[in-house]
Amino acid sequence: MSPAPRKLGSDTVYPVGLGCMNLHHGYGPPTDEADAAALLHEALDLGYNFLDTATIYGFGRNETLIGKTLKARQGEFLQASKCVLLFDGKKRMIDARPDSIKTACEASLKRLQRETIDLYYMHRPDPKVPIEDSMGAMADLVKEGKIRMVGLSEMGEGLLRRAHAVHPVSAMQSEYSLLTRNPEIAVLDACRELGVTFVPFSPVGRGYLADNPPAPADYHEADMRRIFPRWTEPYWTQNQALLKQAQAIAGDLGCTMSQLAIAWTLAKDAACVPIPGTTSRQHLKDNFLAADLSLSSDVMAALDTLFQPEAVKGPRYSPAAQASVDTEQFAFELS
């Protein structure tokens, strides 16, 4: 029996979506275009029906790839993209001014070869622009038929409530995994209260929650984990004891470590839709099948206890990266 679909705004989707960033951005050089196109087609063939991209991924190339590759299959999936985190040449910038959001949307529609984007997120908060002004532009895009649903990314409870008061927010995307449990502070509860679907990115802990995660010495020079403290030494090694115990649990259940990690997010919030990313066809299938894995209350309690926030060593972001988001932090992270 297939797992029940989960609500996302006015739609329903398979419980596990596909994050497409990895194909162009984040963990190394871009994937060969033919291989990336084949992976996207295989994702739809497997039954993925929620794909997530953003303007900044590959500086527009990720959207272009999806638009070109899946133009004839657009009716098979819900397409999400993001604005505000933009590029000027190859320089990243944050710009949530209303006119900039509308201009970015037009560019994304062209790259995606769509008349409407199903779910359009503000990728980051812009401290220079009131969220109410930015949401006004997003509401205008809905009225114009350019987007169907509005989302936020890497924002906390306060901004979510302010944004939702201007126009309904359909989804909140933020990092959530056994390693990163900050959404449990406030935003998860706020999403449940407001009827907002929570979309965890990096549910496999940026590749750490795997059977054989790469060591920091093996990261490609373009791998962004090089600047994320938790994925570098000494923290990478300090967290190995947690990983080995979780791998043992996965072994007892007969699943991969990544499947266990995704299944944990699915069980923690019965309405969430995690979006693991991958460039591997085998991992694509493994991640999809994680929705079939049912974890007992004993296993959930063991994982919750093992990965208590205080037990995980190292911050998830550098100070500069943390300053660019509005996600809540635990008291021990602020001390």
- CA atoms of 299 and 177, how far apart (whole Å): 15
Q: What are the C-alpha distances in Å from 268 to residues 215, 255, 256?
A: 28, 18, 18
From the number of C-beta atoms within 10 Å of its C-beta (0-12, 13-18, 19+), residue 323 rates as exposed
Which helix (DSSP H) or strand (DSSP E) does residue 250 occupy? helix 240-253
Chain centroid offset of residue 299 CA: 24
Which is the catalytic residue, given 14, 27, 48, 57? 57
- CA atoms of 264 and 280, how far apart (whole Å): 21
- CA atoms of 201 and 190, how far apart (whole Å): 18
Q: Please, are residues 86 and 111 in contact by the beta-carbon 8 Å criterion?
A: no
Which of the 8 DSSP states describes residue 208?
T
For the CA atoms of 74, 75, 78, 80, the dihedral, rounded to the nearest 10 degrees, stands at 30
Reduce the secondary structure of 50-91 to three states and give it as a string: EEECCCCHHHHHHHHHHHHHCHHHHHHCEEEEEECEEEECCE
Contact partners, residue 88, CB within 8 Å, separation at least 6: none
SS3 content of the chain, % helix, strand, coil (to 5): 50, 15, 35
The question of whether 219 is a catalytic residue gets the answer: no
Catalytic residues: 57
